[in-house]
Every structure is written in structure tokens, then in C-alpha cells.
């Protein structure tokens, strides 16, 4: 009986070690990794927002990803892989040019980012894209700096919690 109990205890211990979860995320390290490639991650009313600046991904007035955009997309995949929630890829422009032109550009950029995420392993069934042209600016479009900040791609994880993506707040 004692041998059987000992074997059961040892088996349970081996199973617990085998089921150990990955180390907890370190928020400071996650923030530093995001900043290194120009990404910001923050809570939003919808869930979690991953903001990718246009200057990191696209040349001005273009929808093809820059050759050096790989690290931004790769880091985005790391973050998005920590969730099983749907992914909304939203493109935005500044207010220079017509609404029609900016609508097309914002849609094309969102689709380009979504395609890059999918090519790197994010399930296509999780991803939707939207273009918002110059609607929903984060700052005024009255200055060159403001317009630059409004040209962006945002990835939204509806219903997700920041702690699941970035680790606990210290």
C-alpha cells in the first residue's frame, strides 16, 4: 500500500511539473520591447489597443509595407498570440486629400497589415479589417506633427484585458 501511495504521489508531482505554466510576463520588459519597435499597447473601451505608427510601417501616401517593417509586425504577432480574441485591424489617415482617396488608403493599409499578421501565423478567421480615413483622429490635424500621429494602424482585441497581453501592473 505504501509503495502504491508513493508511486501515486510521485506521478502527481511529475504531472504538476509538466503542466507548469510559462513564466509570468514582465510589464516593464514588454513595454521596452514594444517601444523598441514603435508600438504602444493600452487599454481601450473595447478591450486592448495596439497602435502602430504609419512612419514605422508605410512610406508617406503608400499602402505597401516598408521593407524594414518586419520587426513591428513580428512584435505584433507575439502580442496577438497571447489572446484568442478576434482581431480588428483599423487603418487611419490624416485629412490631407479627399475622403474617397483617404478611405481607400486606410483600407489598403489595414489589409496589408492583416495579411502580414496572417502570413506570420495569426489565424485568418480571427482577423477583420476596417478603414476609417481621417475619422477618429487622436490629435488635431492642424499641424504636421498632428497629421503624422493620425496616420496610423490600430489593432483592437475586443474584450481582452491588458494584463493578458502585457503582464500585471507593478
Query: Containing domain of residue 87, as a range?
Result: 25-166
In a domain, 124, yes or no: yes
The vertex-57 CA angle with 55 and 63, nearest 5°, equals: 105
pLDDT at 145 over 50: yes
Q: Are strands 87-92 and 40-43 parallel, antiparallel or unpaired?
A: unpaired
Length of the chain equals 170
| 104 in Cβ contact with 97 (< 8 Å) | no
| CATH number for the domain that contains residue 131 | 3.30.1330.60
Query: pLDDT (tens digit, 9 = 90+) per residue, 22-57?
Result: 568 999 999 999 999 999 999 999 999 999 988 889
* 78 within some domain: yes
Establish if 13 belongs to a structural domain: no
- The string of pLDDT tens digits covering residues 95-122 is 999 999 999 999 999 999 999 999 999 9
Residue 9 lies in a domain: no
Determine what percent of the chain falls in helix, strand and coil, rounding each to the nearest 5: 50, 20, 35
Domain membership flag for residue 16? no
Give the integer Cα–Cα distance in Å for 94 and 96. 6
Q: Per the domain annotation, does 14 fall within a domain? A: no
The model carries a pTM of 0.84
Total domains in the fold of the chain: 1
| Helix (H), strand (E) counts: the chain | 7, 5
Amino acid at each position: 500500500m505504501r509503495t502504491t501511495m508513493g508511486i501515486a504521489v510521485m506521478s502527481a508531482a511529475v504531472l504538476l511539473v509538466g503542466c507548469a505554466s510559462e513564466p509570468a510576463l514582465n510589464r516593464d520588459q514588454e513595454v521596452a520591447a514594444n517601444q523598441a519597435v514603435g508600438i504602444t499597447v493600452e487599454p481601450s473601451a473595447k478591450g486592448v489597443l495596439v497602435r502602430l505608427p504609419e512612419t514605422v510601417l508605410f512610406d508617406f501616401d503608400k499602402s505597401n509595407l516598408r521593407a524594414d517593417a518586419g520587426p513591428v509586425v513580428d512584435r505584433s504577432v507575439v502580442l496577438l498570440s497571447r489572446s484568442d480574441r478576434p482581431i480588428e485591424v483599423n487603418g487611419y489617415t490624416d485629412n490631407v486629400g479627399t475622403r474617397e482617396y483617404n478611405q481607400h488608403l486606410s483600407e489598403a493599409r489595414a489589409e496589408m497589415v492583416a495579411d502580414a499578421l496572417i502570413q506570420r501565423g495569426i489565424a485568418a478567421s480571427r482577423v477583420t479589417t476596417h478603414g476609417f480615413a481621417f475619422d477618429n483622429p487622436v490629435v488635431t490635424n492642424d499641424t504636421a506633427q498632428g497629421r503624422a500621429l493620425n496616420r496610423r494602424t490600430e489593432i483592437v482585441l475586443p474584450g481582452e484585458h491588458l494584463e493578458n497581453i502585457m503582464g500585471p501592473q507593478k
